[in-house]
Structure formats: C-alpha cells, structure tokens
C-alpha cells in the first residue's frame, strides 16, 4: 500500500511517471514566471538531443506566423501605390481632349469615301478643297501682281504673295515638328500633295483660309454681300477638311487661329514698292 504522503507528493510533482522512457509534462497549476521564457509546446522525450528540440521549436506554427507577419510588414501600403500610380491632371485632361477630338472627327467625316453617309457630296467638298489649296492662290497672286497697272494694286498683291509664302513656311515647320498622322479614315487622294502633307497638324487649308480671308476683308472686298461670301468660304474650307476626313477637328481649329495670327505678322512686315526697290537695290 502506498502511503498518503507519497500520493500527495505525486499530485504536486511536475513529473508524471518514472524516468525510463516516459514523457514529462509541465504542471498546469504552477504559475509561470513572466521574466522566464514560455514553456515549449512540444513534447520532449527524456534523453533526446536538445539541438533537435530547438529545431522543432523553431519550426513551430507560432514562429512561422511571426516570420510571415514580419515579411508582410515590409510591403508598402496600397495607399502609397495608388498615389504613385495616379497620373497628373494635365495628362488626364489632354487624353480626354484627344479622345473627344478623335470621336468628333470620326462622326463628322461623312464624306471620307463614296460609301459614307454623305458620299454624294464628296465631289463638291473636293472642289472647295481645291479652292483653298496653296498652288491656285500663289499662281493667282503672282498673275495679279504681273497684270496690275497701279502702284497700290501691286503693293497689295505683293504682300498677299508674301503672306502666302510665309504661310507655307510656317505650316511646314509646325507639321514637321508635331508629325501628327492624318485620321485613319482619310483617303490620300488630295490635289498636289508634298512629303510634309502626310502629317495632319495643323490644317494648311484652314491657316490659308483664315489669313487670306482677313487680307481680302481688309484690303480688297468692300461690299457687304462679298464680305459675307468671304467669311462663308473660309468656314466651308475648314468644314470640308473634317468632312473629307483629311484632318481632325483640333487641326482645323488650331489652323484658323494660326492663320488669324499670320495676318498680324503680314501687317507688321508690310512691304511697300519703295521698300521693295530699296531691298532689291541693296541686293544688287
């Protein structure tokens, strides 16, 4: 018979069982020291290698969860990524403007080919296109300068010719610098094109129509009905460029603004016959 003292000592002992091949358990009733490390959760067989026990402890789920949380803490928060990836307001506005421009140009290109919605009006639009071409205007201004008898007429035709040449130079420089392609629905069947005419921005017809329209209204056309016809012609030239699919809407709008400013430059560089004779005398 075991003594009651032995039973009581067995209840309070942290070890259950003998020492030969049996397991040891930590007491559940004994308070833990907060300064000491927590007891291992793994069972250790007596006589086993302590190094193996430490390796098993390091592979515990608690350690794995801790390592996962530490590595996750190194990932930048999603707010910073969102701020870094947000484009600027100017870029968004420009992209939206270009998208609207392409959409409007596609919808207004009703004469781009014979099968378009207004394909039957295409020959009339091409006639208006020729009326705003640079070659007829250069040839007409040179012919009028040659046939003019008065000094005032020669002065006007000379400056118109200078303005047309200035328009060709400036439009060529801008087109070669920007190099914007023409709309995809355009057919390259234009009258007398050059290498730079494969670019779209700005519309040379629109710049020429605006500049020549202001020139005619200021120096040649006085009657009110003719002034209305000049304004109507300039507007139809710009509209025909979009309806034929030659240009986008922004190409024509910028062309009108550029041609309007070109006339101011012609007025600044205005040449009189005396000034021209003096320049020719210095060159000779």
76 pLDDT band, cuts 50/70/90, is low
Catalytic annotation, pick one of 133, 205, 219, 282: 205
Q: To the nearest whole percent, how much of the chain has pLDDT over 90?
A: 38
Among 4-8, 36-40, 170-174, 255-259, the minimum mean pLDDT is found in: 4-8
d(CA 281, CA 224): 41
Q: To the nearest whole percent, how much of the chain has pLDDT over 70?
A: 66
75 pLDDT band, cuts 50/70/90, is low
For residues 171 and 202, the answer to whether their CB atoms sit within 8 Å is yes
Residue range 135-168, pLDDT digits in tens: 999 999 999 988 888 888 888 999 999 999 999 9
The neighbouring-strand residues paired with 199 are: 181
Q: Which two tokens stand for residue 176?
A: 């070669």
In Å, what is the CA distance from 88 to each residue of 84, 96, 202, 284?
Answer: 10, 13, 26, 58
Catalytic annotation, pick one of 133, 185, 219, 247: 247
Q: What does the pLDDT read at residue 5?
A: 47
**Domain ranges in the chain?**
120-283
The neighbouring-strand residues paired with 181 are: 199
33 vs 43, more confident: 33
Residue range 99-117, pLDDT digits in tens: 998 999 889 888 888 888 8
Q: Compute the mean pLDDT over every residue in the chain, rounded to the nearest whole number.
A: 77
Going by C-alpha positions, the residue among 143, 205, 141 that lies closest to residue 171 is 205
Active site residue 247: yes
279 pLDDT band, cuts 50/70/90, is low
Going by C-alpha positions, the residue among 35, 232, 212, 57 that lies closest to residue 128 is 232
């Amino acid at each position: 018979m075991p003594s009651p003292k032995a039973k009581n000592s067995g209840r309070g002992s942290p070890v259950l069982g003998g020492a030969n091949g049996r397991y040891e358990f930590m007491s559940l009733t004994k308070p833990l020291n907060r300064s000491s490390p927590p007891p291992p959760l793994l069972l250790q067989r007596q006589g086993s290698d302590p190094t193996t026990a430490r390796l098993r402890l390091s592979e515990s789920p608690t350690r794995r969860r801790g390592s996962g949380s530490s590595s996750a803490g190194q990932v930048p928060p999603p707010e910073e990524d969102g701020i870094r990836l947000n484009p600027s307001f100017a870029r968004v506005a420009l992209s939206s403007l270009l998208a609207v421009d392409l959409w409007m140009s596609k919808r207004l290109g009703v004469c781009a080919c014979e099968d378009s919605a207004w394909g039957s009006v295409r020959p009339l639009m091409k006639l208006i296109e020729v009326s705003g071409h640079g070659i007829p205007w250069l040839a007409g201004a040179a012919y009028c300068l040659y046939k003019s008898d008065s000094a005032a007429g020669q002065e006007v035709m000379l400056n118109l010719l200078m303005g047309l040449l200035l328009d060709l130079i400036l439009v060529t420089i801008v087109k070669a610098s920007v190099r914007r392609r023409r709309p995809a629905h355009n057919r390259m069947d234009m009258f007398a094109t050059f290498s730079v005419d494969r670019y779209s921005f700005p519309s040379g017809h629109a710049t020429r129509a605006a500049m020549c329209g202001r020139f005619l209204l200021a120096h040649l056309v006085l009657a009110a009905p003719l002034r209305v016809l000049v304004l109507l012609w300039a507007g139809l030239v710009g509209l025909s460029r979009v309806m034929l699919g030659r240009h986008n809407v922004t190409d024509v709008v910028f062309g009108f603004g550029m041609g309007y400013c070109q006339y101011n430059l012609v007025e600044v560089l205005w040449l009189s016959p005396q000034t021209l004779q003096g320049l020719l005398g210095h060159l000779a």
